[in-house]
């Protein structure tokens, strides 16, 4: 269940970004197919970190922000998958425990005397609330660790070779499943690795028709999503620096600096049109 939800979230995140990329890059693709290398100019314009060199250097670049102080797409995806996995695991485990928690409370307080029905209801709600988070967080943390290890393995494999392949998901699912059940012994770890491999295969099969209709390879989608993410993050960093500069220059608040920045951007756009 946990692996299937994490795989679905990984796939949903990629295809949501793919939808944005296809529409934003539609006009740029003919230029990239012309005589000059359009993708090289685009990366040079954004001052992207070097993707050449040794594989471990690319992995380190992925895990660090670099000179531009921009978080990589892979790290952001790891954090999102871990957080969503935690919420899903907590909700599933906590919801399943609620009927048993209510029954235990009634059994433990069968002979207890409460001053009123309101006091009994408040005690019951408090007990169920604590039980929900106590039981739910256990599964939530395990699923978050599993989701992080899965995305981390796939991201490291892709960055090390600078190429994302279908079998990266299979390897990542197998490793994540094996590590997830490793504390229970080698037999449980081996079984969990096979289950992770099976669910990864299902995820890959779901990706194939979508990539076929998009007429793009998985690696092209991955690199375009990464490029788009870096562009957006770089714009956000430049915006924060501009706002901080306006705040220091005019001694105004953040919201006032934001209004001044928008006015400057509008004036610059009007000047270009004129």
pLDDT of residue 6: 53
* Gap between the Cα atoms of 91 and 112, Å rounded: 30
Q: Cβ distance 235 to 68 under 8 Å?
A: no
Residue 40 tokens read as 């090289």
Please give the torsion angle defined by the CA atoms of residues 71, 74, 75 and 78, in that order, rounded to the nearest 10 degrees.
150
pLDDT in tens, 219-255: 999 999 999 999 998 888 888 889 999 999 888 898 9
Q: Do you know the residue count of the chain?
A: 274
Counting residues of the chain whose pLDDT is more than 90, the rounded percentage is: 37
> Who contacts 70 (Cβ-Cβ below 8 Å, separation ≥6)?
230, 233, 234, 237
pLDDT in tens, 53-105: 578 888 888 888 777 778 899 999 999 999 999 999 999 999 999 999 989 98
Please give the average per-residue pLDDT across 178-189, as a whole number.
Answer: 89
Please give the average per-residue pLDDT across 247-271, as a whole number.
Answer: 86
259-262's contacts with Cβ under 8 Å and 24+ in sequence apart are none
pLDDT of residue 10: 52
Strands (E), the chain: none
Q: 188 versus 41: which is more confidently predicted?
A: 188
Q: Over 70: is that where the pLDDT of 7 sits? A: no
Please give the average per-residue pLDDT across 34-48, as a whole number.
Answer: 40
DSSP 182: G
Q: Over 90: is that where the pLDDT of 46 sits? A: no
How far is the CA of 248 from the CAs of 68, 85, 260, 265, in angstroms?
A: 21, 41, 13, 18
pLDDT in tens, 131-171: 999 999 999 999 999 999 999 999 999 999 889 999 999 99
- Helix or strand (DSSP H, E) at 267: helix 254-273
Q: Over 70: is that where the pLDDT of 274 sits? A: no
Q: Over 70: is that where the pLDDT of 44 sits? A: no
pLDDT of residue 100: 92
Q: Cβ distance 65 to 162 under 8 Å?
A: no
* Gap between the Cα atoms of 144 and 84, Å rounded: 8
pLDDT of residue 126: 93
Residue 61 tokens read as 């670049």
pLDDT in tens, 192-221: 999 989 988 998 899 888 888 888 899 999
* Gap between the Cα atoms of 261 and 240, Å rounded: 10
pLDDT of residue 13: 54
């Amino acid at each position: 269940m946990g692996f299937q939800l994490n795989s679905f979230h990984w796939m949903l995140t990629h295809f949501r970004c793919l939808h944005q990329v296809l529409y934003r890059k539609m006009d740029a693709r003919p230029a990239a197919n012309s005589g000059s290398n359009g993708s090289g100019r685009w990366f040079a314009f954004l001052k992207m970190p070097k993707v050449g060199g040794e594989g471990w250097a690319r992995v380190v670049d992925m895990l660090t922000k670099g000179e531009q102080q921009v978080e990589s797409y892979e790290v952001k995806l790891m954090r999102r998958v871990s957080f969503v996995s935690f919420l899903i695991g907590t909700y599933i485990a906590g919801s399943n425990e609620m009927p048993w928690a209510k029954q235990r409370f009634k059994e433990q307080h069968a002979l207890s005397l409460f001053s009123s029905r309101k006091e009994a209801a408040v005690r019951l709600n408090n007990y169920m609330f604590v039980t929900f988070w106590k039981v739910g967080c256990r599964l939530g943390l395990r699923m978050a660790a599993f989701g992080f290890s899965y995305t981390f393995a796939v991201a490291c494999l892709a960055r090390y070779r600078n190429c994302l392949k279908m079998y990266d998901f299979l390897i990542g699912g197998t490793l994540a499943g094996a590590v997830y059940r490793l504390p229970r012994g080698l037999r449980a770890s081996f079984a969990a690795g096979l289950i992770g491999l099976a669910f990864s295969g299902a995820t890959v099969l779901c990706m194939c028709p979508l990539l076929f209709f998009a007429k793009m390879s998985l690696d092209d989608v991955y690199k375009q999503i990464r490029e788009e993410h870096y562009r957006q993050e770089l714009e956000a960093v430049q915006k924060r620096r501009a706002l901080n500069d306006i705040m220091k220059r005019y001694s105004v608040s953040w919201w006032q600096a934001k209004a001044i920045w928008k006015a400057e951007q509008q004036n610059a756009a009007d000047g270009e049109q004129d």
